[in-house]
Structure 1
Amino acid sequence: MTRPERPARLLLVEDDDDIRALFSATLHRAGYRPRVVSSGQQALDQVDELVPDLVISDVSMPGLSGLDVCRTLKGQPRTAGTAVLLVSALSSQQDREAGLQAGADDYLTKPIRPSLLLERVQSLLGALA
């Protein structure tokens, strides 16, 4: 695997402290340096400065949901190409379809094995290359 000329810009959006810490540690161990926020609004506030390659977002959060964040990103020309990985405890086919209809590139159901998270991150980043 060839390394990109610049590090991938990741934005991790998770309101649960424990899950946020687990995902952040998993990404750090793999060499990524995600910007980490705890709400959908914080995510949107960071997007213009960061212009992430990949957003990993929880679906169910107070205020703006991950679906709202995804729709907003995909609806703006500057961020329409940003890959979005939604993660959620919502596991029905209807929930997954709602995420994909919102524009998500992938949808994982919690709990998520760290190796699966990294596999999907690498796959989504590779698709952007």
Structure 2
Amino acid sequence: MTKTNILIVEDEEDIRELVKYNLHRENFGVLEAGSGEEGLTMVERMTPDLVLLDLMLPGKDGLEICRILKRDERTQDIPVVMMTARGEESDIVTGLELGAEDYIVKPFSPKVLAARVKAVLRRHASAPELAPEDVLRIHDMVIHPGRHEVLVKERPVDLTATEFRILHFLARRPGWVFTRYQIVDAVHGEDYPVTERSVDVQIVGLRRKLKRAGSNIETVRGIGYRFRDK
């Protein structure tokens, strides 16, 4: 049986060795990179099943590496788990906005790390595929899941994978109101660890990218969000 390969992108060798040791104990295959640039090369060469990405890296930092991975069609579906010594909410929110699937704050328990990795892989394997024929046309907007494409008045809009899923989820049920946690559950799975603030940031990003069409995503105070009905 082929092992699941995890790429560790971490510049501190001691931490990298500790993470590698504990992942090996869980029967994962492990790849290593000591910098962001080396990590990008490894992803291109080896196509890992998941990337454990430190945020404090020399050269291109972890957020920039995450941004590059999630904007590339060839790598955007590889799950990214951020490792950071910074526990501030702003760092976590930024990483999630860029498309990271999860985060873990140093110092962390090896058992907790293994559990988070397994949970992300499990969600990734069980995530429902969007039907290619399920094209939505609403409010001068066309949402094409098969192409991962959004057009507003026939002009393409560049969205991250998470932004696309949130938009598609809301637009499929115009007029329905969803809480932030309902949105998280629909996009990432019920055990996805996230703050309410991170959902708000995703919505702000969506509205900004959609420009005038972003007004179709309405805030329902005290509850959550809905896509404006026809």
**CA distance in 1 between partners of 2:63 and 2:30 (Å):** 20
- Structure 1 residue aligned with 2:137: none
**Partner letter of residue 12 of structure 1?**
I
- Residue 23 of structure 1 aligns with an amino acid whose one-letter code is V
Residue equivalent to 1:14: 10
| Paired AA for residue 35 in structure 2 | S
Give the aligned partner of residue 43 of structure 1.
39
Counterpart of 1:80 (choices 76, 81, 84) is 76
SS in 2 for 1:108: strand
3-state SS of 2:29 partner: coil
d(CA) in 2 for partners of 1:95, 1:120 = 18
1:116 pairs with 2:139: no
Structure-1 residue corresponding to 2:22: 26
| 1:66-77 mapped onto 2 (5 Å cutoff) | 66-77=62-73
Question: For residue 122 of structure 2, what is the aligned residue in structure 1?
Answer: 126
Q: Alpha carbon RMSD of aligned pairs, Å?
A: 1.0
Higher relative contact order by CA 8 Å / sep ≥ 6: 1 or 2?
Answer: 1
Q: Report what 1:62 is aligned to.
A: 58
Residue type of the alignment partner of 2:92: R
- How far residue 128 of structure 1 moved from its aligned partner, in angstroms, is 2.1
**Unaligned 5+ runs, structure 1:** none
User: What are structure 2's unaligned runs of at least 5 residues?
Assistant: 126-230
Inter-partner Cα distance in structure 2 for 1:95 and 1:71 = 13
Task: State the distance in 1 between where 2:44 and 2:14 align.
Answer: 27
Match in the other structure for 2:85:
89
Identity %: 38
TM-score (norm 1): 0.92
Aligned-partner SS, 2:123: helix
| Cα shift readout 1:45-94 (whole Å, capped 9, x = no counterpart) | 11111111100010011101111111111111111110000000011111
Q: Which amino acid aligns with 1:113?
A: S
101, 104, 112: which one pairs with 1:105?
101
- Compute the displacement of 1:28 (Å): 0.7
User: How many residues are paired up?
Assistant: 125
* Structure 1 residue 30 displacement after superposition: 0.8
